[in-house]
Amino acid sequence: MGLPEKIETRLFINGEFVESSNGKTFDIINPATLKLVAKVHEASEQDTDNAVAAAKAAFPAWSKLTPDQRGQYFKKLASLIRENNDELAALEASSMGRPIGEFFDAYASAAKWDRYAEAGYSVQGVINIITGFGNVSGSILSHHMDVRALSFTGSSRTGRLIQAAAAKSNMKQVFLELGGKSPAVIFEDADLEKAVKETAHSIQWNSGQVCMANSRIYVQDTVADKYIELFKQNFEKEVKMGDPLDARENGVNHGPQADEAQHKTVLQYLESGKQSGGELLTGGGAPSGREGYYIEPTIFKNTPEDAKIMKEEIFGPVVNINVFKTEDEVLAKANATEFVSRSLAWPS
């Protein structure tokens, strides 16, 4: 077993072997013999940019492939790795001093490619499902010494408790998806119809029970009246409230809040909003004559920035639309929140 007569050392970019754009190479020295093994092309800034651009250009087509189609490429690569095991072992030995007899990496790598070629069709590792509440099962998991990582989606208050519990136990990794008061910014050169469609959907989807819903919208003064009127029309014409099980048959796209506690919380925020000095344009409460924890899609206009409904997460179909003049002004308002900002801006 030995090295091939010719070692390919060029860069592989966009499906082709190419020399480095500036012709620069670096030496690979055999650590056992101190002899030159090869001169390898060194990627320049331009080469690196070219590689990223090629990957970016290829990504849409790759994304459209089915898991089966992607898997075929993975399996082909795994097969090629196995076929060239001896050459790879020799290259590793010559460049890194790794004894050929200890080289198992090619087969291990091929096995991983085979595994991930079919991973899209199966649930991986061991899965247990438990139901319960934060003050019992949630607290135990947070403090548990055998739990190495936790992912949590919920309130900021609970997230703080989980982080504290992790610090007091085994310093487990914690991944949090917490509350938000996300702003959307609409400039005067925006496609208003598109902006209205997207922002209205954001706050109304799932009855507003989405942590990244754009619950604050800032629209430039020159187009504010038109935008707000279109937004109001969208709520009144496009939203169909009803039993979520009837969505397919009757076009229902707006269901209730998750439970009684959340329903009461949203109603309390609505009353707070009415007292805040903002203008209620539509909605503002529970629909009359309908059972269930429903909330009418609600729009407040020109609510004071220090109002409770402007600062706290409502987690319901309630949006505040305020007007701005300058970019500096709206950036200051959008960032005036305790939450990590998830902001969207619509230019033309």
Q: 16-18 and 11-13 as β-strands: parallel, antiparallel, unpaired?
A: antiparallel
CB count within 10 Å of CB 181 equals: 24
Contact at 8 Å (CB) between 51 and 16?
A: no
Tokens 């076929």 appear where? 83
* Residue 28, phi then psi, degrees to nearest 5: -105, 120
Q: Which residues are catalytic?
A: 177, 211
Contacts of 176 (CB under 8 A, 6+ apart): 151, 152, 153, 159, 162, 163
DSSP string, 135-199: IIIIHHHHH-TT--EEEEES-HHHHHHHHHHHHHTT--EEEEE-----EEEE-TTS-HHHHHHHH
Distance in angstroms (rounded) separating the CA atoms of residues 123 and 136: 27
Structure tokens at 84: 């060239």
